[in-house]
Structure 1
Amino acid sequence: MTRPRILVVGAGFSGVECVRRLERKLAPDEADVTLVTPFSYQLYLPLLPQVASGVLTPQSIAVSLRRSSKYRTRIIPGGAIGVDLRAKVCVVRTITDHLVDEPYDYIVLAPGSVTRTFDIPGLTDHAFGMKTLAEAAYIRDHVISQLDLADASDDPAERASRLQFVVVGGGYAGTETAACLQRLTHAAVKRYPRLDPGLIKWHLIDIAPKLMPELGDKLGRSAQEVLRRRGIEISLGVSIAKAGPEEVTFTDGRVVPTRTLIWTAGVVASPLMATLGAETVKGRLAVTAEMNVPGHDGVFALGDSAAVPDLAKGDGAVCPPTAQHAQRQGRKVADNVIAALRGRPLEPYEHKDLGLVVDLGGKDAVSKPLGIELHGVPAQAVARGYHLGALRTNVAKTRVLTNWMLNAVAGDDFVRTGFQSRKPATLKDFEYTDAYLTPEQVRAHVGRTQPQRS
């Protein structure tokens, strides 16, 4: 008899934690484990703004999936673009654009999320995202190139547009991105004697009435004070009306000349969830507290793409899309897959959030560990201690810590790599959201290539 096939989709926090636990707990001949991911690394997403600002190197937060000598999971380099639940087949588009049908007995869906966009004229054509390692590296090159081009230009209008930067999204990603990149330009402009530092302007806008409301009023105000003290202009209750190559129009009527629009206004579940034809909750796949999909044996979903009931809060709440929940859900799903494999009862996921950390760069941070509100150096110590603890390998911890120490002592060299020079690099170029199939296309494709199961 062939061994049961366990297919894990996604190498984010939840997917990797699931695979690692399956490898530890399953006997070598008990099941075959396969992981679908376009990249053979786990991205530590919370530190992306520090890659964009040059504090950390890209390699330091890209944790290799193949580093362990005991790693025995088969990796398919590609992205899942459709799942036929009836035939138990996942359709994968490899990195060479070939379609592969991957049959499974148990599937764990952890494809994560994509940047949430709206029908705003010019947005996807002119905005940059902050969701992938490539985007963070590109944004760093782009921001430094704006300083280079402004320094070389004798046109005041061009200088003004190149030295204004707009970040949309007052959540953790947007706030940290604006804070870290503002520090980058503030330090870099000292190397450009022809540029007036007063021309550099950063705008952080959000349609919500508060910045990072999850932190509470006190810490939210503290974060705003830090940013405003640095000269970042914060506009709340405001969004983008339209975006162009050289200017952005706000919903309050202001027109800001800029060549840099960074969009971090939230995330939505991966489009893969829509290919299943199963029930969703605001785009996230509806699952039980055990994280299995009702009516489909052997199908589990977790992380950003699943509406996992938050039993700690109750009242129909679902777990927020945070790394903290994703990691713990990954371990619990692995236990439940093994339980299903061995004919044992599944266990529900329950975890109380341990708190939040926001690193604003330098000595500035706000944190709320276990409900205790901190700001300044104590909050920064908590934030960086949390990140070091959450990184999966000692090599990654060492690289990040070394980068922090080196940056604190030696500063930055403000070097552009030029790896993606002259290539499209806006939102629509990085997340491949048009690659997914419809449920009908999935069934038609699988029907042509696979015998249907009864």
Structure 2
Amino acid sequence: MARPKIVVVGGGFAGTECLHRLERRLGPAEADLLLVTPTDYQLYFPLLPHVAAGVLTPQSVAVSLRRRLRRTRLLPGVAIGVDPRAKVCVVRKTTGEMLDVPYDHLVLTAGSTTRTFDIPGLSEYALGMKTLAQAAYLRDHVIGQLDLAAVTQDPAERDARLRFVVVGGGYAGTETAACLQRLTTAAAKRYPRLDPALIEWHLVDVAPKLLPELGDKLGAKAMFMLRRRGIEFSLETSVRAIERTSVTLTDGRVLPTHTLIWTAGVQASPIVDTLSRDTLRGRLVTGPELTVPGTDGVLAAGDAAAVPDLAKGGDTITPPTAQHAQRQGKVLADNVVAGLHGRPLRPYFHHDLGLVVDLGGRDAVSKPLGIELSGATAQAVARGYHLMALRTFTARTRVAVNWALNATAGDDFVRTGFQAGRPASIQDFEHTNAYLSIDQLANHERPTAHKSG
């Protein structure tokens, strides 16, 4: 008999954890394991702001998939559609070639993309922070603004280039603003003609509080730390329009700027829409066992799935965090194995262990196991958590060494130019326009595809 084909879509926290466990629980003759992913690394998202700020090198947060997965085949590409009736996953390889990948068990851990809105100028001028390439681009862009501001003779242009706007007061936005503000403050000392007092950072969010998930006290503490460093806040405010050299806020203010960093939340991968199954807040609805109702052999987890949070009674869904995704990955593997062997599936249940927010230097707020911490103690907890969450010894070593090197030797604030000349929009970096529509799947309106066994 042919070995059952287990196809995992997405090499993030949930997908990698699932395959790592499957390799341990299934022998080579029991199943064929395939991972569909555009990269050969698992990106450790929580430390992307450190990459953008130059505290960590890009390789530090790119955990090698081949170091963790020894028997899984990697298919370099993006899954752009699923036909659950035919049990086929449509993949566009990195070469552009289209493949029909048949499966017996499909595990959807496709993650998320940046959530955008119909705001004039957003798709053209906003910079994202969701991928490694975006973080590298953003670092070059910010340093480039300092370079240009230092040589211009136009005071208005200088002010605009030294004004940076971050939209989104969640973890990603707050940490990005905090880490990059430290970068520009330190780098300004290398520019004799730049007055550091002219550098402005603005954090804009529609919510009335910063980091509401941490509670009022820690959110206020984080704001106090960042205000002390010069970051300005515009809460209960959103963006009305974005132009190449300015941002208009909903309160009527116009901020001249060449930098708008958009971190206003995430949305499930567009592949979710191709299944024609129920969604909740854009995420694919699953049962407690991570199965997708109405499909045969399809499970989902991570940012793309609306998983009932049984630890809170099951009336809410688990938040899209790395902590939940990693633990859901283990349950995915256990339930795939149970399905193969005809055993009952087990539900996902996990008590949140807490949250950490690294604001750079000695500034941080953390809430491990419900204990509220701030300052250096919270920073130690945050960095300790990140080191434990990294899944290989090599990755932990690289991150620890980079932190130590940056703390002792500082940064040279150079632009690498690796991303120079490429389109900088969120859509271009995240390829959100690459997915098939439901009609294309139903009518097979796609280029001639090859079968992948």
The TM-score, its normalising length taken from structure 2, stands at: 0.98
User: What's the counterpart of residue 52 of structure 1?
Assistant: 52
User: What's the counterpart of residue 33 of structure 1?
Assistant: 33
Q: Structure 2 CA distance, aligned partners of 1:290 and 1:386?
A: 27
How far is 1:297 from its partner? 2.3
The residue type equivalent to 2:297 in the other structure is G
Secondary structure of 1:6's counterpart equals strand
Residues 384-432 of structure 1: CA distance to partner in whole angstroms, max 9, x if unpaired? 0000000010000000000000000011100100112232112121111
User: What's the counterpart of residue 263 of structure 1?
Assistant: 262
The residue type equivalent to 1:383 in the other structure is A
Aligned 8 A contact 1:101 1:446 in 2: no
User: What's the counterpart of residue 348 of structure 2?
Assistant: 349
Aligned 8 A contact 2:84 2:296 in 1: no
How far is 1:196 from its partner? 1.2
Q: Structure 2 CA distance, aligned partners of 1:419 and 1:45?
A: 20
Q: Structure 1 CA distance, aligned partners of 2:31 and 2:288?
A: 25
User: What's the counterpart of residue 61 of structure 1?
Assistant: 61
Q: Structure 1 CA distance, aligned partners of 2:421 and 2:6?
A: 41
Q: Structure 2 CA distance, aligned partners of 1:411 and 1:441?
A: 52
User: What's the counterpart of residue 241 of structure 2?
Assistant: 242
User: What's the counterpart of residue 321 of structure 2?
Assistant: 322
Alpha carbon RMSD of aligned pairs, Å?
A: 1.3
Structure 2 unmatched ranges of 5 or more: none
Aligned 8 A contact 1:122 1:244 in 2: yes
Q: Structure 1 CA distance, aligned partners of 2:388 and 2:16?
A: 16
Q: Structure 1 CA distance, aligned partners of 2:450 and 2:84?
A: 13
Q: Structure 2 CA distance, aligned partners of 1:420 and 1:104?
A: 36
The number of equivalent residue pairs is 450
Aligned 8 A contact 2:274 2:436 in 1: yes
The residue type equivalent to 1:334 in the other structure is A
Aligned 8 A contact 1:166 1:204 in 2: yes
Residues 290-337 of structure 1: CA distance to partner in whole angstroms, max 9, x if unpaired? 000112221100000100000000151100000000000000010000
Aligned 8 A contact 1:125 1:428 in 2: no
The residue type equivalent to 1:205 in the other structure is V
Q: Structure 2 CA distance, aligned partners of 1:311 and 1:252?
A: 40
Q: How does 1:242-321 map to 2 (within 5 A)?
A: 242-314=241-313, 316-321=315-320
User: What's the counterpart of residue 407 of structure 1?
Assistant: 406
User: What's the counterpart of residue 161 of structure 1?
Assistant: 160
Structure 1 unmatched ranges of 5 or more: none
Q: Residues 78 and 153 from structure 1, CA distance in 2 versus in 1: closer, same or farther, beyond 3 angstroms?
A: same
Secondary structure of 1:14's counterpart equals helix
Q: Structure 2 CA distance, aligned partners of 1:227 and 1:102?
A: 49
The residue type equivalent to 1:45 in the other structure is F
Q: How does 1:131-146 map to 2 (within 5 A)?
A: 131-146=130-145
Q: Structure 2 CA distance, aligned partners of 1:73 and 1:446?
A: 31
Identity value in percent: 68
User: What's the counterpart of residue 12 of structure 1?
Assistant: 12
The residue type equivalent to 2:17 in the other structure is E
Q: How does 1:147-158 map to 2 (within 5 A)?
A: 147-158=146-157
User: What's the counterpart of residue 21 of structure 2?
Assistant: 21
How far is 1:227 from its partner? 0.5
Q: Structure 2 CA distance, aligned partners of 1:302 and 1:424?
A: 31
How far is 1:443 from its partner? 2.7
Aligned 8 A contact 1:89 1:446 in 2: no
Q: Structure 1 CA distance, aligned partners of 2:80 and 2:252?
A: 40
Q: How does 1:118-137 map to 2 (within 5 A)?
A: 118-137=117-136
Aligned 8 A contact 2:80 2:436 in 1: yes
Residues 31-66 of structure 1: CA distance to partner in whole angstroms, max 9, x if unpaired? 000000000000000000000000000000000111
Q: Structure 1 CA distance, aligned partners of 2:227 and 2:242?
A: 25
Q: Residues 391 and 82 from structure 1, CA distance in 2 versus in 1: closer, same or farther, beyond 3 angstroms?
A: same
The residue type equivalent to 1:343 in the other structure is G
Q: Structure 2 CA distance, aligned partners of 1:14 and 1:326?
A: 5
Is 1:430 aligned to residue 429 of structure 2?
yes
How far is 1:16 from its partner? 0.3
Q: Structure 2 CA distance, aligned partners of 1:315 and 1:35?
A: 30
Aligned 8 A contact 2:82 2:274 in 1: yes
User: What's the counterpart of residue 333 of structure 2?
Assistant: 334
Secondary structure of 1:293's counterpart equals coil
Q: Structure 2 CA distance, aligned partners of 1:445 and 1:176?
A: 43
Q: Structure 1 CA distance, aligned partners of 2:297 and 2:445?
A: 19
Residues 163-192 of structure 1: CA distance to partner in whole angstroms, max 9, x if unpaired? 000000000000000000000000000000
Q: Structure 2 CA distance, aligned partners of 1:238 and 1:296?
A: 42
Q: How does 1:68-217 map to 2 (within 5 A)?
A: 68=68, 71-217=70-216
